[in-house]
Structure 1
Amino acid sequence: MAATLGKEIYTLFYDCVVRVRSGSGQGTGFFVSPGRIMTCAHVIGCANPDQVQTYWRQKELIPTRVDSQWQESGNEGNLDIAVLHVAITEHPCVELDVDVLPRDRLHSFGYPENKHGGQPLGPECVGLTEEEKFLVLKDENIRPGFSGAPLLNERTLKVCGAIKSNRSIQVVNNIFRGFGGYAIPIHRILYQFPRVREDNDVFHAQDKKWHSAMNPMSRNNETKASAEKESLTSRVKRRAMQERLVRLEKEYTACNQQIGRCFNDVEKMRLEYQASQILQEIRDIEDSLS
């Protein structure tokens, strides 16, 4: 069953996505750890780091280093992953997870070619290919530019893969009809880049924004529970003050009675001072209760 996605998780997810451009074309990437962007290797091709442009929040970021795994063995075996290193570290990161099942609803955001801005996608996971090399996706809108886009699993609310390419069949002559795509599952990515898993775990252990966005209901419940606890504490304190006020009023009355029966000047002064102190505390409690 898919989890309930709120506005916060979408907003945070989109804020992790970047546009990637090089001489090979345009694609998409996403922050996986501080200063590291994951994308598809074919998006950057053989370009040097200074020939790759990434854009985040309308700012251009030039990679300082590129780590890639591009196994040239055809579409069915090609891992096609690159990690771009950039200078900034103050940014959100997606949370990675290997859990994905057939019929899981997924959500993505990418930068298709010939489009000015980014666009969302809502593909469905059909399943894994032989040897679990790729996720098969069902969505007719997957097209060039979405390569490298993250896939948010709406059941787990974590990223389970990265879009690699579209799937199409030839209808007539040079006319092709798209009917889905392929994605690289996170378990293959983490196998080739184990440091990514470590850095991603460390980031989310320190930064709780993703977890908070995943569980808005839990956070609301915690806020409500905290308010109820505070209210209960306030009621207990008020009840204690009321009980204290009753005791003080009795003590004040008894003290005044003793003053009326006292003929020793020194003892009378002591009782009058005691009565004034009790009266001051009574007024302070009455002010607090009002």
Structure 2
Amino acid sequence: MDDRTPTRRRVLELGGAAFVAALAGCNTDAPRAETQPPDSTAAVNATREGASPPSSATEEPTGSETPTSPYTRVYRQAVDSVVLVRTDGGSGSGFLVEPSYVVTNAHVVGEASTVDIRFSRARWSGGDVLGTDAESDLAVIELPESAPSPEPLSFAASEPAVGQEVVAVGSPFGLDGAVTTGVVSGVDRSAPAPTGAQIPDAIQTDAAINPGNSGGPLLSLDGRVVAVINSERGENVAFGISAALARRVVPRLIEDGSYDHPFLGVALAAITPDLARALGLSSPQGVLVTTVLDGGPAAGRLRGGTETRLVGGSRVSVGGDVLLSIDGETLRTVEDLSSHLELETRPGDTVELTVLRDGYVTVVEVELGTRPKQ
């Protein structure tokens, strides 16, 4: 499947996960979503001519690792539940989460309604795309009764710690059942969605991630899925959709085939030191409302910018509300608001926003809507 690289600078109305493709004062260079091109044999042959996958990607842990290695234990526990996913457009990875249901990336299945699935060292079987959610880059595939039924993998119940060791299992370059290892490099990051926007609460890792790994599991050493691999940005920098977000989206995809994201209906800018000075703030705090969508949930409740200024080399709409907290949680970044909306709320919920407006602090309540599908 062709890589989909969302790099367009545009301000989207913040909806649930905020999924803002570009915000004034924020970096908009999105990581690259990776899938393996259709002709995996050609790709493998190409690697033999010098473009080989990183040496850390092997089909089984070998060398100095022993059968008691924690990586070997995780690999043996998980590999039978990890699949190679193939469509007319390319291939990626996935993993069993319930009997007959496989999770992968929405960008792996694309517009396909059926896919080919192969468990490690097993025969090919078909699968039906049961549901997709491009805004979280998650999809669920339903398998036929004749497909293998290994033990499903479970999502982790809590956020991994930075520095925690992790194991990635998948099909880089079409090589099914390959494993790489690394650590959690960061949490609360943003990952690219097929819509060109950003997914909040993403997990960053330095494990080697290559084309074809997309949709596979990133596992803790106790064998639980801490993230669904989504993309790589460069050497030792890769991202995954957090288990916390997947736990909310996947059951709805299985049940309904789609997922409704909460929607605030505003565009925001991170408050940098330069912007704080322009706003007359003593220090960077909160997030700035630059635009309020007409007719959206926040219309008449929050204020957007009233004039445009050049701040730090970028034009920013200023004069709007500064959001200091949501439901009692202090806001330091746009990602803080995005994650809270996506992980703690649903459409129809009412959120309480502490707002700095015209030099005074006030509290505003907004009933969330449903994010329009893109």
| TM-score, normalised with respect to structure 2 | 0.43
CA deviation after TM superposition for structure 1 residue 98, in Å:
3.2
2:236 is matched with which residue: 169, 179, 188? 179
**Deviations 1:49-75 (Å, cap 9, x if unpaired)?**
2xx11111421121134211102xxxx
Cα contact 1:33–1:196 (8 A) shared by 2 = no
CA distance in 2, matches of 1:102, 1:19: 29
Paired residue type of 1:194: P
Residues 190/117 of structure 1: CA separation in 2 closer, same or farther (3 Å cut): closer
Residues 186/116 of structure 1: CA separation in 2 closer, same or farther (3 Å cut): closer
Residues 130/30 of structure 1: CA separation in 2 closer, same or farther (3 Å cut): closer
Task: Structure 1 unaligned segments of length 5 or more: list them.
Answer: 72-78, 169-177, 199-290
Kindly report which structure 2 residues correspond to 1:7-22, keeping only aligned pairs within 5 A, or say none: 7-22=72-87
Higher helix share: 1
Kindly report which structure 2 residues correspond to 1:61-72, keeping only aligned pairs within 5 A, or say none: 61-71=125-135
Kindly report which structure 2 residues correspond to 1:146-161, keeping only aligned pairs within 5 A, or say none: 146-154=213-221, 156-161=222-227
Residues 94/34 of structure 1: CA separation in 2 closer, same or farther (3 Å cut): same
Name the residue aligned to 2:108: 43
Identity %: 25
Aligned length: 175
**Deviations 1:17-59 (Å, cap 9, x if unpaired)?**
010011231110000000000011111110122xx11111421
Cα contact 1:190–1:196 (8 A) shared by 2 = no
Cα contact 1:108–1:121 (8 A) shared by 2 = yes
CA distance in 1, matches of 2:189, 2:175: 37
1:105 is matched with which residue: 150, 165, 178? 165
CA distance in 2, matches of 1:179, 1:111: 18
Cα contact 1:39–1:149 (8 A) shared by 2 = yes
2:172 partner SS: coil
CA deviation after TM superposition for structure 1 residue 7, in Å:
4.9
Higher strand share: 2
Tell me if 1:143 matches 2:210: yes
CA deviation after TM superposition for structure 1 residue 95, in Å:
2.1
Name the residue aligned to 1:55: 118
CA deviation after TM superposition for structure 1 residue 117, in Å:
4.0
Cα contact 1:102–1:125 (8 A) shared by 2 = yes
Tell me if 1:119 matches 2:178: yes
**Deviations 1:89-143 (Å, cap 9, x if unpaired)?**
7321112213211111101111112x5443211021112235852111113x211
CA deviation after TM superposition for structure 1 residue 162, in Å:
1.1
Name the residue aligned to 1:34: 99
1:80 is matched with which residue: 137, 143, 149? 137
Query: Cα RMSD between the aligned structures?
Result: 2.6
CA deviation after TM superposition for structure 1 residue 190, in Å:
1.1
Task: Structure 2 unaligned segments of length 5 or more: list them.
Answer: 1-67, 191-199, 256-374
Cα contact 1:23–1:44 (8 A) shared by 2 = no
1:92 is matched with which residue: 140, 151, 168? 151
2:226 partner SS: strand
Residues 130/162 of structure 1: CA separation in 2 closer, same or farther (3 Å cut): closer
Cα contact 2:172–2:211 (8 A) shared by 1 = yes
Paired residue type of 1:122: T
2:232 is matched with which residue: 136, 145, 166? 166
| TM-score, normalised with respect to structure 1 | 0.55
